Amino acid sequence: MNISDRHIVSRRTLVSGVGIGSIATLLAACGGSSGGKSSAAGGSGSAYDKIIAGGPVASAAAIAASPWAAAVKKNGVLRVGATETSPLFSMKSLSTGELTGFDAGLSQLLARYITGKSAPKDLTKVTVVSVDTRESLLQNGTVDAVFATYSITPARAKKVAFAGPYYESGDAIMVKADNNDIKTVADLAGKTVVTESGSTAALDIKKRVPTAKLLLLQQDAECVAALQQGRADAYVLDQGILISDASTNKKVKVVGQPFTKEPYGIGLPLKDPSAKKFVDAFLQEIYKNGDWAKLWKATIGTVVSGAAPATPTLGSVTGA
C-alpha cells in the first residue's frame, strides 16, 4: 500500500473517528544497517537518499572538541538504537532490510555529519530497542544514540541526555475501525487500554483515567495486535506512531485529539556532556539549512499536505 498517494489536511486538526479509508483527516500535531531505498511508509525513494547524501559534514575541529563524536568518527559508523516497525519514522524494508523514515533519516544525517560518508547503508549500525531497553543500551555503551520517537521527560533525563527536541507529538487514542463508543480520553473509564510498558502513555492513563485497566506490552506491533484481537478496547500512545500504524491498517482508526504534549529527543549518554552539545549543534545546522524540513517532506510529508511545521526550539522543555 503506497501511502504517498494519501492526502491529509492540517497538522493542527484531527477529525474524530477516521480510519484508513479517509486518512486525509487523520493527522493533527504529530507531532543490521540502515538507509537505502525507502519502503512505502518510510520515505520517498531517491529523494530520501539524496537528502542523506547531501547532508552537512562537521568540521574536524568540531569533531575533535567532542570525545563522543571523535569516537564515532574513529569507529566509522554511528551505532543507533532504533525501531523497525514504525511507518513514517523508522521502518525496515522487507526487500532491502534497511531503515527509512523521519527518525531513521535523522540518524543517518547525524552519521554523515560525523563520518562524512554519503551512502545511507554505510552510515549506521542498528540495534532494535524498546521502551524498556533504551536507557540501558545507552548506559552500557551498546549504542551511541537512540532515535525512537523518544519522549523527553525529567525522569528519563536523570538516566540519559537528550538533544532536541527535534519533533513534537502527543498521546492519542486508537480503536478498532468499527468502534464508535470511544472518542475521548474520558471514554476510556472502565475500559481495557493497551500501551507500551515504560511509556509516558502508561503514566498518563493512570493519572487521567484511574479506572481504566492497563495492558502493558513491549512493542507497538504487539499493542496493535492486542487491539485487533479484542484483548483491549483502545490503544494509547504517541499520535505520530498511531497514525503511522493506521496508515497501513484499515482495521484500526485514530480518534479524538491528542491529550498530552510529547516532545521527542535524541537519547545520548549522560556521562559525556559533549554528546548533547555536538548533537544539538547538528540539529541547529539542519534546521537552518532546510534538511530537517526536506526530510519531513520525504517521510511524514508523504501523508501530510502543506509545508513542514516549524522546528522545535532546542532546549525548550525540561530534560533537554
Contacts for 251 with CB less than 8 Å, ≥ 6 apart: 176, 177, 228
Q: Is residue 281 included in any domain, yes or no? A: yes
**CATH number, position 248:** 3.40.190.10
pLDDT for 307: 82
Q: What are the backbone dihedrals phi and psi of residue 65, each rounded to the nearest 5 degrees, phi first? A: -75, -10
156 and 56 together in one domain: yes
**Residue 2 pLDDT class (50, 70, 90 cuts):** very low
**Residue 158 pLDDT class (50, 70, 90 cuts):** very high
Beta pairing partners, 196: 217
* Mean pLDDT in residue range 231-238: 97
For the cut 60, the answer to whether the pLDDT of residue 32 exceeds it is no
pLDDT for 308: 87
193 and 268 together in one domain: no
pLDDT for 134: 96
249 and 266 together in one domain: no
162 and 234 together in one domain: no
Query: How many domains is the chain built from?
Result: 2
175 and 157 together in one domain: no
For the cut 90, the answer to whether the pLDDT of residue 31 exceeds it is no
14 and 92 together in one domain: no
For the cut 80, the answer to whether the pLDDT of residue 285 exceeds it is yes
Q: How high is the mean pLDDT of the chain?
A: 86
For the cut 80, the answer to whether the pLDDT of residue 21 exceeds it is no
pLDDT for 256: 81
* Mean pLDDT in residue range 101-114: 98
Amino acid sitting at position 6: R
Better pLDDT: 62 or 118: 62
213 and 105 together in one domain: no
> What does the alpha-carbon distance between residue 54 and residue 31 come to, in Å, rounded to a whole number?
25
> What does the alpha-carbon distance between residue 30 and residue 144 come to, in Å, rounded to a whole number?
26
153 and 106 together in one domain: yes
186 and 267 together in one domain: no
Amino acid sitting at position 288: K
Q: Is residue 136 included in any domain, yes or no? A: yes
Can you tell me which residue has the cell 509545508? Answer: 307
Q: Is residue 53 included in any domain, yes or no? A: yes
Overall residue count recorded for the chain in this entry: 320
191 and 235 together in one domain: yes
Percent of the chain whose predicted confidence (pLDDT) is above 90? 69
Cell numbers for 24: 486525509
* Mean pLDDT in residue range 160-166: 98
Quote the pTM value. 0.74
Q: Is residue 52 included in any domain, yes or no? A: yes
Domain range for 238: 3-30+171-255
Number of Cα atoms under 13 Å in the Cβ half of residue 153? 17
134 and 283 together in one domain: yes
Amino acid sitting at position 293: A
* Mean pLDDT in residue range 9-18: 29
> What does the alpha-carbon distance between residue 290 and residue 132 come to, in Å, rounded to a whole number?
33
Q: Is residue 98 included in any domain, yes or no? A: yes
Q: Is residue 282 included in any domain, yes or no? A: yes
**Residue 96 pLDDT class (50, 70, 90 cuts):** confident
* Mean pLDDT in residue range 13-21: 31
pLDDT for 305: 59
15 and 122 together in one domain: no
For the cut 90, the answer to whether the pLDDT of residue 30 exceeds it is no
Q: Is residue 41 included in any domain, yes or no? A: no
pLDDT for 13: 29
Most confident of 92-106, 226-240, 300-314: 226-240
For the segment 172-205, what is each residue's pLDDT rounded down to a tens digit?
999 999 999 999 999 999 999 999 998 889 999 9
Nearest CA-CA partner of 144 in 165, 164, 129, 166: 129
Better pLDDT: 95 or 4: 95
Nearest CA-CA partner of 129 in 68, 80, 72: 80
Starting at the earlier edge strand, list the strands of the sheet with 78-82. 124-128, 78-82, 145-151, 262-268, 161-169
Q: What are the backbone dihedrals phi and psi of residue 298, each rounded to the nearest 5 degrees, phi first? A: -80, -10
Count H helices and E strands in the chain, helices first. Answer: 10, 14
